[in-house]
Amino acid sequence: MSRKQLTAKQHTFLQFLAEHVRKQKVWPTYREIVDEFGYRSPNSVTQNLQALAKKGYLTRDQNGYRLIGQRAGLQPGGFPVQGVIEDGAFEVSLSIDEITLKDLFPGLDKTFAIALNGEAVRGIDHAGHGYLLLQEGTVGDGHISAVLHHGTVALCRVYEDEGGLRLQHVDGTESWVENAHGSVKLLGRYAGHINQQGLFRAAGAVYMGHPLNGETVTTT
């Protein structure tokens, strides 16, 4: 069903329904809607529900009205969950569930981006353009991190060693760098990267099975 444009009041009404379901996990009662908008009669609630259903934003079954799809045409905050596959069958979802950046990045409040601007990063394929997504916090103990050394950025597991750092690269090699004069800068823990193909949450070694996962490496 194609959706028709909403009036300002209908949009506000729909937004209330969507946010109520999102927060309370249940459909609002007539009384809650009346109290929210100060209607004099429950008939006003019925009229608005019928109008939204007619315009394709709500559906109605034996259990009452339901939102169609995620947030029913409101400004999305993530990826809408519009279906579910269960027992080998696909079923359309009428919930307003969505996958947000918070789901993709549990440490979203500590996640930041660095623009690459043509700079290569050892360990990922980004064609010299895109963004490196990093997280603040302690780096070390085998975390995959972005390391800046002699003007080159590399993704590698970082291990603190006496007088320096042991870096385990995604291509299976290992190196040791002295950090006595601050020649190495740890930019942050790796959270993902963005290139022209989209968003990626893992460095190349995770897919390629390189020793970044803790296997024996060749020292260089």
**What number does CATH give the domain 8-99?**
1.10.10.10
Q: How confident is the model at residue 37 (pLDDT cuts 50, 70, 90)?
A: very high
27 pLDDT above the threshold of 60: yes
Burial letters for 156-191: b for 16+ Cβ neighbours within 10 Å, e otherwise? bbbbeeeebbbbbbbbbebbeeeeeeeebebbbbbb
Task: Tell me which of 125 and 40 has the higher pLDDT.
Answer: 40
pLDDT at res. 47? 94
pLDDT tens sequence across 51-100: 998 888 888 878 788 887 544 444 556 776 767 788 888 776 555 567 87
Q: What ranges in 92-172 are assigned the alpha helix state H?
A: 101-104
Task: Tell me which of 107 and 209 has the higher pLDDT.
Answer: 107
pLDDT tens sequence across 145-188: 998 888 888 888 888 877 788 888 877 888 888 865 667 888 99
pLDDT at res. 38? 94
> What fold is seen in the domain 103-219?
Umud Fragment, subunit A (2.10.109)
2 pLDDT above the threshold of 80: no
For the chain, what are the domain ranges? 8-99, 103-219
* Spatial contact of 210 and 216, defined as CB atoms under 8 Å apart: no
Alpha-carbon gap, residue 155 to 74, rounded angstroms: 39
pLDDT at res. 96? 57
